[in-house]
Structure formats: structure tokens, C-alpha cells
């Protein structure tokens, strides 16, 4: 059954959600940065003739900076996407249907959707302690 979280549990949920979004953003940052640095660095350094007649080819330094900037932007977007998604999740406590972006709206079962962050699933109502 779905039960309402206590204020302490909501705080724990918020902290967990933030930490999860942070590590997701960090992973995206690392992957995108590494990919961009390798692609830019390798692409630029293997095609020096495209850098212009006699012009100095762009090196790994620029690839590194560009890659890190791209990675940081992508990581921040991923973090926002993740945390907004977590906050948008809803559940109908009456039937357990899960959805997104419909807090307060009626469910087909006659119940109403509430924020998933305010609810938690409890297998055995008798043992309320985790």
C-alpha cells in the first residue's frame, strides 16, 4: 500500500534525489567531456591541412577546454533533467498507478494523483519501521 512519507522521510528522499541527480550529471560530464576531447583532439590533430594554409593547427589544449565546456553544459542539463523528472513523478495512492506531471489530477479509478516524493510503498503495514 502507498503511505504518506513523514517530513523526515521527505527530507531523506530530497537528499537522495539530489545525490542521484548529481552523480548522473557527473557521469554525463565525464563521458561527454572525454568523448568530445578525443573527437576534437583526434579530429583536429589528424587533419592539420584543414586548419588553413600554413595556419597553426588547433591542439589538444583547445580540444581539452572545448570538451570540458561541452561536458559541463551536458552534465548540467542531465542533472536538471534528472531532478525535474524525479520531482514530476506522481502516483495514485488508491490504485498505485504511476505517472508524471499530473499532480492533483483525477485518476481513472476515482482517486487523485499526488507527488511520488510524498508517498512511499509499504509492503507490510504492520511493520512501519524500515
Residue matched to cell numbers 589538444:
60
Of the candidate residues 18, 111, 112, 115, the single one contacting Zn ion (CB under 5 A): 111
Of the candidate residues 19, 30, 42, 95, the single one contacting Zn ion (CB under 5 A): 95
Nearest CB to Zn ion, comparing residues 28 and 92: 92
- Residue 70's nearest CA partner among 43, 41, 32 is 32
Helix (H, G, I), strand (E, B), or coil: what is residue 28? Answer: helix
Size, binding site for Zn ion by CB under 5 A: 7
For 35, list phi and psi in degrees, rounded to 5: -60, -45
Stretch that binds Zn ion, among 22-30, 54-62, 70-78, 91-99 (CB under 5 A): 91-99
Amino acid at each position: 500500500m502507498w503511505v504518506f512519507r513523514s517530513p523526515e522521510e521527505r527530507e531523506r528522499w530530497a537528499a537522495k534525489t539530489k545525490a542521484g541527480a548529481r552523480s548522473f550529471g557527473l557521469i554525463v560530464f565525464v563521458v561527454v567531456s572525454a568523448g568530445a576531447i578525443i573527437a576534437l583532439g583526434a579530429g583536429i590533430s589528424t587533419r592539420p591541412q584543414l586548419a588553413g594554409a600554413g595556419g597553426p593547427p588547433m591542439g589538444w589544449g583547445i580540444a581539452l577546454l572545448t570538451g570540458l565546456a561541452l561536458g559541463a553544459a551536458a552534465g548540467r542539463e542531465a542533472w536538471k533533467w534528472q531532478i525535474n523528472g524525479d520531482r514530476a513523478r506522481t502516483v495514485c495512492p488508491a490504485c498505485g498507478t504511476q505517472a508524471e506531471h499530473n499532480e492533483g489530477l483525477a485518476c481513472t479509478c476515482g482517486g487523485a494523483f499526488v507527488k511520488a516524493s510524498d508517498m512511499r510503498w509499504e509492503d507490510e503495514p504492520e511493520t512501519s519501521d524500515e
